Chains A and B, each alone.
Chain A
Amino acid sequence: AQSVTQLGSHVSVSEGALVLLRCNYSSSVPPYLFWYVQYPNQGLQLLLKYLSGSTLVKGINGFEAEFKKSETSFHLTKPSAHMSDAAEYFCAVSEKTSYDKVIFGPGTSLSVIP
């Protein structure tokens, strides 16, 4: 069965500092991996996804993530945090069965300190 863990339910960084949000997954087959962002009282927006190919994936708003199979990780990074990055971030995994069932992690709330 697939599962996703996110280390740290709350992360605070200073504006301009590196953002690192951790995600580890378990999957019995090569997974599809995703990061979503949720702003307060809004729906989910896809930041980036890994389906195959290059293990370093670039997304919107300057975010990127690296798929490391040996570590079963898909950590999200951004070199310099901006105040507008404050939001809830969800890592997710999908396994191609009869359809693309997405399993979400519990989320990490990112605060950016001015």
Chain B
Amino acid sequence: NAGVMQNPRHLVRRRGQEARLRCSPMKGHSHVYWYRQLPEEGLKFMVYLQKENIIDESGMPKERFSAEFPKEGPSILRIQQVVRGDSAAYFCASSRASGGSYNEQFFGPGTRLTVL
């Protein structure tokens, strides 16, 4: 059973370009979470999505960042007009349906974004 998959693993962009990060959850998981890890820091929650719905985006920067989890295909984290401060590791996690007992989040290997 494949784990959470993220691609690309490494992404280099110049300032002003767009970055698209993809996350395929584990089989049977319908909930996706995105986290950002800045250098020398812990993971910070960005957004929580279910299929076709954004449930909690309280950790997302107000501008340039967006996320989606369509009915078919992977979840996408999109960063428009990237700046050097966006350089970080972006991790995706997935879980089974939430509610009731605890549902463990399983993490992908991350995408390391470098903005030149």
Contact = CB atoms under 8 A, between A and B. Distances in A.
B74 to A, nearest CB: 16
B72 interface: no
Classify chain A's interface size.
20 to 34
B55 A98 contact: yes
Contacts of A101: 45, 48, 56
Contact of B91 (A41, A43, A96, A106): A43
Interface string A17-53: 0000000000000001000100001111110010100
A43 B43 contact: no
Given A100-B98, A105-B42, A106-B41, A43 B109 contact: yes
Contact of A100 (B35, B91, B103, B108): B103
B22 interface: no
Nearest to A51: B102
B98 A99 contact: yes
B27 interface: no
Contact of B56 (A45, A99, A103, A105): A99
B110 interface: yes
Given A99-B48, A100-B105, A44 B56 contact: no
Nearest to B58: A101
Contacts of A7: none
Contact of B31 (A32, A41, A99, A104): A99
B104 interface: yes
B75 to A, nearest CB: 15
Interface centre among B42, B103, B107 (most CB of A within 10 A): B42
Counting from the closest, the 10 A-B pairs by CB-CB distance are: A99-B98, A104-B42, A43-B109, A44-B107, A104-B43, A106-B42, A43-B107, A107-B42, A43-B110, A51-B102
